[in-house]
Each structure stands twice: as structure tokens, then as C-alpha cells.
């Protein structure tokens, strides 16, 4: 028998729980790690919202109404009455969840309907749903690429793309951010690969800059390479009908694979997808681990996405409103003397350079009932701290101007503008 005494000696009581010596050692390590994060000024706290997601919100500890300028709720549809009602009806008809993965007993007719609608929206042959676009990005590269292949990725691509690429066995290369000369150099160096996949965000979320997709397509054609495009910060609102950066730049359906999300403009709940050739989607259903080993997307989430696609395909007024709000904010902020990164996108980073200034600026904005967040190293490079403002179609012109007025007042107070 295994003696009991050493086990008893290795634990201590913590409240109503027992903690082993190994767990106590882990806690010590984690406390040191957390202290280091706090000392570096990069500890992330979470403000608690006590209302639905909207352009106006309330937060815990305050009854004041605050204007929200930091959500991915680009079209303002997260709490749209028709979207909420679609979710309610789906609960009655389809239940809260499937308690299963897709290939066992987790595929309902609405899952297939949404996949078909996504494919039609993007002008592709087929689509496959995931629990999130993080999962979609985690599932594609390992499934598609082998050691005979090469993947060439923009150095500032989203963390989910970076992690997904790490899982695959292909030759892995990074090109300098939006640097077409460096991309072509790597395409030439990998000419012997069986397949080469160029990987880029269509819009980079920290800067609001748009990938030079026209040039990327030209290089892909020249070097017989495939293109993977992450459209999370474009689907639903970039381009006249919301088809994304391809439409925005007038390029047609030139990219081979598109991954995107249902968790931003398309209802804001959750979920992601891959859309592209039928053969690719068929293969992902057989090999993609996040798809095979994750529960099906809950019916209310599927129903909200179906309703959002109906709304934006029937009427593009929200897309036009968002574009107008973006232009108004960017133009007036520039006139006030601020420097904004990116262009022509509702992600509108106000560049402040110093981390301490960005944090103080965000605090002062909250005092004026404007909710924005400061970003600094390591989320963005040293010396490039900023307030990342995100516009929504739900914002009125008066609310946009209120935000600009608050920025101007704080900017003068802190010496950012004169």
C-alpha cells in the first residue's frame, strides 16, 4: 500500500480546500509572474458592463451613461431587436445547445443554412463553422500544409494566425509588415515548395491599416502561390455591401481562402468560419481538430448570424452610416491636431507614443463619460502607445462630436495638442 503520511504532509488547508505542495509552489511562481506584469504596467483589468452592448453603456459602480468607443460592434447589431428576437425564437425551436460535436449528433439544419449563406455572401463554394475565428485559424494550417509546403505570413498578423501556423509542419516564414519586396524575396526562396500560402490579415487591428491586397494578388499570380485572408475586421462593413476588403478595393473574389468571425460586425455573439473551395471545406471536416473536437455552435448564435446576414444583404444603410462616422471622426480629429494611424477604417488609433500618457488619457476620457482604452507595449511596439478608437454605425453624429470634443479637451490639458 502507498503510505498516507507523506500525502498528508504535502498539503495544507486553504479555506475549505486542500492545496498540495506542488500547487503551493505553482502559486508562488504565478504570483511572481503577475507582479512582474503589474510592474511593467501591462496588467489588464476588466471593467464590468452592467447593460447590453451598445453605443451607450453603464459600468459597475456608476449610474452614469457612458459612450462606448472601444467595441467591435461595428454595425451596432449586437443588441438589435430583430437579432435578439431571432435568438429567442431559436431557443424555443432548437434549444440552448447540442451537447455534441458536429459529426456525431451536433448538426442542425440551421448550421447548414448558415454555412451556405456565408459561402454565398463571400462568393465561394462552401463554408465551415467554428466556435470562434481563433479556432478557425488554429484548425486550417495544420490540416492543409505539410513539410513539403511553405507558409509566408505578415509579421503583424493576429495572434490566432501565429498560433495556428506554429501547429503546422510547413516551412514557416515571416515577411516584414506589408513589405512587398520582402514578401517577393521569400516567395522566390520557397520556389521548390509543393504549395506556398501567403497569409495576411485584411485589416490589422492595432493600427487600422489595410493590407496591400492588390500587390499581394499580383505576387501570388506571379509566383503561383495561394492567398489566405483573415477578414475579421472587415466582414460585414468594408466594401459597399460589406463583402470585405476584396470588395473595398474592387478586386473581386481573388483570395483562395477567407477566415472570418461572427463575433464582431455580424451580431457580436461568437463563432467563426472558413470559406473557400469545396475540396478544402470537405478536408477540414475530416481533419481540422478544433472542428472535430469542439461542441457545435449554439442555436441562438447561429440564429443571430442568420438574421444579421438578412439585415445587411437587404439594406446597406448601416454600412454607409459607419463609413460616414469614420470619415467624420478621422477628419475632425486630424483638424484638431491629433495623429491617427491607419486610414479609411473605423479602427482609428490616436497616437500618443508614451505608455503612461495613453493610460492617463484614457482615464481622463472616462471622467468625461467616453469609454476608450489605451494600448502600450507589449501589445504595440515601444514608443507607439495609442488610444484605439472604434466607431460604430450606432453612434449618432452628436455622439461622435462629443467624443471628439472630449479628446480635444483632454489633449489640450495634457499638452498633446495646442
- Of 264, 321, 345, 395, which is the active-site residue? 264
Q: Active site includes 233?
A: yes
Question: Under the phi-then-psi rule, with left for phi > 0, alpha for psi from -120 to 50, and beta for the rest, what region is 361?
Answer: alpha
What ranges make up the beta strands (E) of 266-362? 272-276, 347-353
Which element (helix H / strand E) includes 154?
strand 150-154
Q: Using CA atoms, how far apart are residues 75 and 81, in angstroms rounded to an integer?
A: 13
- Of 90, 143, 153, 205, which is the active-site residue? 205
Q: Active site includes 205?
A: yes
Estimate to the nearest angstrom the gap between the alpha carbon of 372 and the chain centroid. Answer: 17
- Of 158, 233, 321, 384, which is the active-site residue? 233
Q: Active site includes 99?
A: no
CA torsion 190→195→201→202, rounded to 10°? 110
Largest CA distance in the chain: 79
Cell numbers at 291, concatenated = 472542428
Pairing of strands 203-204, 209-210: antiparallel
Do 48 and 58 meet the contact criterion of CB atoms below 8 Å apart? Answer: no
Q: Which residue has the cell 506542488?
A: 22
CB atoms within 10 A of CB 283: 15
CB atoms within 10 A of CB 54: 17
259 three-class SS: strand
Residues catalogued as catalytic: 205, 233, 264
Amino acid at each position: 500500500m502507498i503510505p498516507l503520511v507523506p500525502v498528508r504532509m504535502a498539503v495544507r488547508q486553504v479555506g475549505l480546500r486542500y492545496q498540495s505542495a506542488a500547487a503551493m509552489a505553482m502559486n508562488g511562481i504565478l504570483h511572481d509572474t503577475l507582479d512582474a506584469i503589474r510592474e511593467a504596467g501591462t496588467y489588464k483589468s476588466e471593467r464590468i458592463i452592467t447593460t447590453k452592448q451598445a453605443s451607450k453603456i453603464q459600468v459597475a459602480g456608476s449610474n452614469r451613461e457612458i459612450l462606448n468607443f472601444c467595441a467591435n460592434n461595428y454595425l451596432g447589431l449586437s443588441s438589435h431587436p430583430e437579432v435578439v428576437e431571432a435568438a429567442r425564437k431559436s431557443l424555443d425551436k432548437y434549444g440552448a445547445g447540442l451537447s455534441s460535436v458536429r459529426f456525431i449528433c451536433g448538426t442542425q439544419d440551421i448550421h447548414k443554412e448558415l454555412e451556405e449563406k456565408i459561402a454565398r455572401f463571400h462568393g465561394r463554394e462552401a463554408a465551415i463553422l467554428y466556435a470562434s475565428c481563433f479556432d478557425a485559424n488554429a484548425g486550417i494550417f495544420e490540416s492543409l500544409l505539410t513539410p513539403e509546403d511553405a507558409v509566408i505570413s505578415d509579421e503583424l498578423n493576429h495572434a490566432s494566425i501565429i498560433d495556428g501556423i506554429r501547429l503546422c509542419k510547413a516551412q514557416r516564414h515571416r515577411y516584414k509588415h506589408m513589405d512587398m519586396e520582402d514578401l517577393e524575396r521569400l516567395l522566390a526562396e520557397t520556389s521548390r515548395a509543393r504549395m506556398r500560402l501567403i497569409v495576411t490579415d485584411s485589416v490589422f487591428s492595432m493600427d487600422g491599416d489595410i493590407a496591400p491586397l492588390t500587390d499581394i494578388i499580383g505576387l501570388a499570380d506571379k509566383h503561383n502561390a495561394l492567398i489566405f485572408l483573415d477578414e475579421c475586421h472587415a466582414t460585414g462593413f468594408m466594401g459597399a455591401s460589406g463583402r470585405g476588403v476584396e470588395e473595398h478595393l474592387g478586386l473581386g473574389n481573388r483570395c483562395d481562402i477567407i477566415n472570418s468571425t461572427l463575433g464582431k460586425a455580424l451580431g457580436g455573439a461568437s463563432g467563426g468560419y472558413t470559406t473557400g473551395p469545396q475540396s478544402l471545406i470537405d478536408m477540414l471536416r475530416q481533419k481540422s481538430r478544433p472542428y472535430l473536437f469542439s461542441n457545435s455552435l449554439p442555436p441562438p448564435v447561429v440564429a443571430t448570424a442568420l438574421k444579421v446576414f438578412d439585415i445587411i444583404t437587404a439594406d446597406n444603410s448601416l454600412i454607409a452610416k459607419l463609413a460616414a462616422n469614420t470619415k467624420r471622426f478621422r477628419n475632425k480629429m486630424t483638424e484638431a491636431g491629433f495623429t491617427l494611424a491607419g486610414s479609411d477604417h473605423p479602427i482609428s488609433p490616436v497616437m500618443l507614443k508614451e505608455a503612461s500618457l495613453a493610460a492617463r488619457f484614457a482615464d481622463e476620457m472616462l471622467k468625461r463619460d467616453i469609454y476608450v482604452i489605451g494600448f502600450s507595449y507589449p501589445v504595440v511596439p515601444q514608443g507607439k502607445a495609442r488610444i484605439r478608437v472604434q466607431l460604430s454605425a450606432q453612434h449618432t453624429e452628436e455622439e461622435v462630436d462629443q467624443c471628439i470634443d472630449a479628446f480635444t479637451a483632454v489633449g489640450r490639458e495634457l499638452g498633446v495638442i495646442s
